């Protein structure tokens, strides 16, 4: 009996021990699995545009970049480098231009590159910063500078936070990283920042956030941006020259105004404003290193043209450093009231005739028309709306608030768009032409105001903007509806901009006023 009890006890102990061992092993596996899971959760921004914007083979990529660097002459920067404006097109187009800036980094002991770029594919407010993990290219992984990213983000966590979609397919930042990897080697980290909003107020906050922790001995600031985009080689050369002149003279106020009126065009306007704000706060200056455009590179004009510029920002020894970032502002009384302009009776007839001929040739003969008559008015860039009416009823209306093309090009485009591309109406048929009345509205330059009490209704047209939401009413809307200012602005915000009806009275709204010269077929 005793022997049987002893056997049962021994068997029980053996079973208990076995279960204990299995439990420990299971716990180890669980912990091990947890560690693996934690490791897999580390954020890695994977390359997306290798093989498209730049070479995907690491050896060929490194060789190409070194070739770019070899082609750059020695350029002296008269001070300590603060940052660079770098283009972000495919390497065959802008890689050589970008090398003019990145060659300045070779041999320097920078530990962190703060790379700022515009968002092309995802709309959001504020800016998005990757705060930890790695940024991968065919040349390897670049660790995120978590300490620097956290300090920048902590300045305003609501505005500066991680928006994953902003980085997923953004080429403007990715193309900068291989160039940095070849210039700086392996011992450096990155802070990737993508801009959703590019207004001066947002840029000031980002510049302040960077300035709080910025060290020019160990950090370099990169502003990723291309310049003019369009079909006119002449406009590209003219516009980019004016833009670079303002940057070269550190005329931030003038540049911001040019961005607002579309007299300057840079897709990375936000990053450019930030690097200029930071440079100004350090008493620094700018130096143009290189400029070209896609037409000069390919030798083909008359096609889509993009400008590429490379600029260095630096501070001389002994310069006055305040680290106080200022937002560029003009006093309203210093801004010219350019809301009045004139168009002669003959010019009005000419524009109406051009719009009519454009519609007739397209709808009846299926042909496009080019207008070559000499006229100073046709060579101007103005905001423009073309309105088509059938009897008393609207039949189509398309326009642009801001000037973007010369009138000789913009007028035919918008006339056709009003007839064939206004989604509110079916495509116009040639049989309707005899019943169509054409109305043209030429807009004065927009003037931003800070006090909504300055809006004159009737009299002013108004453009409202907040974040990515915007809307416009022409002055004739108030005349046709009989609305007062309160009703006019409430409908503008809610119906056209998708904003609360009282948004025009709230902080953060941008208000622009303009006048219109309106005329129609007799």
pLDDT at 11 over 70: no
Which of 329, 358, 388 corresponds to the end of one domain? Answer: 329
Rounded to the nearest 5 degrees, what angle is found at the Cα of 186, between the Cα atoms of 182 and 192?
80
Query: Dihedral sign, CA of 511, 253, 116, 209?
Result: negative
- pLDDT beyond 50 at 335: no
Q: How many domains does the chain have?
A: 2
Same domain, 357 and 413: yes
- pLDDT of 47: 94
d(CA 72, CA 103): 8
Q: Is the model more confident about 323 or about 256?
A: 256
pLDDT per position as a tens digit, 123-146: 888 999 999 999 999 999 999 999
3-state secondary structure of 493: helix
Instruction: Tell me: do 283 and 388 sit in the same domain.
Output: no
Q: Are residues 381 and 488 in the same domain?
A: yes
Q: How far apart are CA 53 and CA 171, in angstroms?
A: 8
- The larger pLDDT score, comparing residue 19 to residue 307, is at 307
* Percent of the chain scoring above 70 in pLDDT: 89
Cα distances from 382 to residues 379, 408, 516, in angstroms, run 10, 11, 11
Residue 335 lies in a domain: no
68-98 burial: b if 16+ Cβ within 10 Å, else e = bbeebeeeebebebbbbbbbbbebebbbbbb
380 vs 355, higher pLDDT: 355
Residues 261 and 204 in one domain: yes
Same domain, 324 and 350: no
Residues 315 and 356 in one domain: no
Domain end point (choices 272, 304, 329): 329
Q: What is the pLDDT of residue 374?
A: 83
Distance CA 382, CA 300 (A): 28
Kindly state the average pLDDT of the residues 151-159.
Answer: 95
pTM beyond 0.75, yes or no: no
| Residue 61 forms part of a structural domain | yes
Question: Is residue 365 pLDDT above 80, yes or no?
Answer: yes
Which domain covers residue 423, as residue numbers?
345-520
pLDDT, residue 451, reads 86
pLDDT band (50, 70, 90) for residue 37: very low
Residue at 13 is within a domain: no
- Say which residues have a Cβ less than 8 Å from residue 369's Cβ, sequence separation at least 6: 354, 357, 358, 361, 362, 412
Whether 61 and 210 map to the same domain: the answer is: yes
Check pLDDT > 60 for residue 330: no
Whether 39 is covered by a domain: the verdict is no
Same domain, 370 and 314: no
- The answer to whether residue 160 is domain-embedded is yes
Q: How confident is the model at residue 333 (pLDDT cuts 50, 70, 90)?
A: very low
Residue 137's beta-bridge partner residues? Answer: 140
For residue 407, give the CATH number of its domain: 3.30.700.20
223: pLDDT confidence band, cut at 50, 70 and 90? Answer: very high
- pLDDT for residue 338 is more than 80: no
- Give the per-residue pLDDT at 154: 95
Residue 192 pLDDT exceeds 70: yes
Above 50 in pLDDT, residue 331?
no
Beta bridge partners of 116: 193, 223
CB 461 within 8 A of CB 473: yes
Confidence of residue 371 (pLDDT cuts 50, 70, 90): confident
Give the pLDDT band (50/70/90) at residue 370. Answer: confident
Q: Is 339 a domain residue?
A: no
pLDDT of residue 31: 54
Pair 52, 167 in one domain: yes
DSSP 29: H
CA distances for 186 relative to 110, 147, 174, 287, 469, angstroms: 11, 18, 17, 28, 42
**CB < 8 Å & 24+ apart, contacts of 150-158:** 151/209, 151/212, 151/213, 152/114, 152/191, 152/193, 152/206, 152/209, 152/210, 152/212, 152/213, 153/129, 153/209, 155/205, 155/208, 155/209, 155/212, 156/205, 156/209, 158/126
Give how far the C-alpha of residue 136 lies from the chain's centroid of Cα atoms, to the nearest Å: 23
Phi, then psi, of 323 in degrees rounded to 5: 60, 15
Q: What is the pLDDT of residues 282-293, one digit of tens each?
A: 989 999 999 999
The stretch 395-413 carries a mean pLDDT of 88
Q: Evaluate whether residue 441 is within a structural domain.
A: yes
Q: How far is CA 521 from CA 152, 414, 481, in A?
A: 58, 16, 22
Looking at residue 357, its pLDDT comes to 94
pLDDT higher than 90, residue 401: no
Let me know whether 249 and 366 are in one domain: no
Write the CATH number for 248.
3.40.830.10
From the list 178, 45, 176, 183, the residue with the least C-alpha distance to 114 is 176
What pLDDT does residue 336 have?
40
Mean pLDDT within 249-257 = 91
32 pLDDT above the threshold of 80:
no
Distance between CA atoms of residues 479 and 124, nearest Å: 36
Mean of pLDDT values over 245-270: 90
Q: Are residues 180 and 325 in the same domain?
A: yes
Q: What is the pLDDT of residues 80-97, one digit of tens each?
A: 999 999 999 999 999 999
Contact 519, 476 (CB under 8 A): no
User: pLDDT tens across 460-498, in order?
Assistant: 999 998 877 889 998 889 888 999 999 999 999 999 999
3-state secondary structure of 297: helix
Mean pLDDT over the full length of the chain: 87
> Rounded to an integer, what distance in angstroms lies between the CA atom of residue 207 and that of residue 472?
31
Residue 11 forms part of a structural domain:
no
Last residue of a domain, one of 296, 329, 362: 329
Instruction: Report strand pairing: 219-224 vs 112-118.
Output: parallel
Q: Are residues 275 and 240 in the same domain?
A: yes
User: Quick one: pLDDT at residue 15?
Assistant: 54
DSSP bridge pairs for 462: 473, 513
């Amino acid at each position: 009996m005793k022997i049987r009890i002893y056997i049962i006890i021994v068997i029980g102990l053996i079973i208990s021990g076995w279960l204990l061992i299995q439990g420990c092993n299971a716990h180890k596996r669980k912990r091990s699995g947890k560690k693996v899971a934690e490791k897999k959760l580390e954020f890695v921004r994977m390359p997306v545009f290798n093989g498209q914007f730049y070479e995907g083979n690491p050896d060929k990529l490194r060789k190409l970049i070194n070739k770019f660097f070899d082609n750059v002459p020695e350029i002296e920067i008269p001070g300590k480098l603060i940052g660079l404006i770098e283009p972000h097109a495919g390497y065959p187009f802008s890689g050589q231009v970008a090398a003019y800036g990145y060659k300045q980094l070779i041999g320097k002991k920078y530990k962190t590159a703060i790379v700022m770029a515009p968002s092309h594919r995802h709309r959001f407010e504020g800016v998005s910063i990757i705060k930890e993990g790695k940024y991968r290219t065919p040349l390897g992984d670049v660790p995120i500078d978590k300490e620097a990213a956290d300090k920048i983000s902590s300045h305003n966590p609501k505005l500066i936070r991680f928006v994953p979609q902003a980085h997923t397919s953004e080429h403007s930042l990715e193309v900068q990283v291989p160039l940095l990897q070849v210039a700086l080697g392996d011992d450096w980290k990155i802070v990737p920042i993508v801009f959703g909003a590019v207004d001066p107020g947002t840029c000031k906050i980002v510049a302040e956030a960077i300035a709080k922790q910025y060290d020019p001995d160990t950090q370099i600031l990169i502003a990723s941006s291309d310049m003019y985009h369009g079909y006119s080689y002449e406009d590209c050369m003219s516009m980019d020259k004016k833009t670079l002149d303002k940057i070269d003279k550190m005329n931030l106020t003038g540049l911001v105004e040019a961005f607002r009126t579309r007299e300057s065009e840079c897709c990375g306007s936000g990053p450019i404003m930030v690097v200029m704000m930071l440079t100004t706060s350090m008493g620094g200056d700018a130096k143009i290193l290189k400029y070209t455009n896609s037409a000069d590179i390919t030798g083909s004009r008359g096609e889509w043209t993009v400008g590429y510029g490379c600029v260095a920002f630096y501070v001389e020894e002994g310069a006055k450093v305040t680290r106080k970032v200022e937002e560029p502002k003009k006093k309203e009384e210093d801004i010219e009231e350019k809301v009045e302009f004139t168009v002669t009776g003959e010019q009005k007839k000419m524009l109406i005739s051009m719009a009519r001929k454009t519609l007739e040739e397209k709808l009846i003969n299926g042909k496009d028309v080019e207008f070559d008559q000499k006229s100073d008015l046709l060579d101007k860039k103005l905001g423009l709306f073309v309105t088509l009416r059938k009897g008393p009823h609207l039949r189509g209306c398309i326009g642009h608030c801001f000037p973007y093309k010369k009138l000789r090009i913009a007028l035919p485009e918008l006339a056709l768009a009003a007839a064939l591309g206004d989604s509110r109406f079916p495509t116009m048929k040639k049989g309707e032409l005899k019943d169509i009345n054409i109305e043209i509205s030429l807009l004065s330059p927009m003037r931003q105001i800070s006090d909504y009490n300055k809006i004159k209704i009737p009299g002013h047209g108004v453009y409202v903007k907040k974040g990515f939401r915007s809307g416009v009413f022409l002055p004739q809307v108030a005349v046709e509806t009989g609305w007062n200012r309160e009703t006019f602005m409430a409908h503008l915000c809610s119906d056209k901009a998708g904003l609360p009806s009282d948004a025009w009275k709230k902080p953060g709204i941008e208000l622009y006023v303009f006048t219109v010269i309106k005329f129609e077929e007799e």
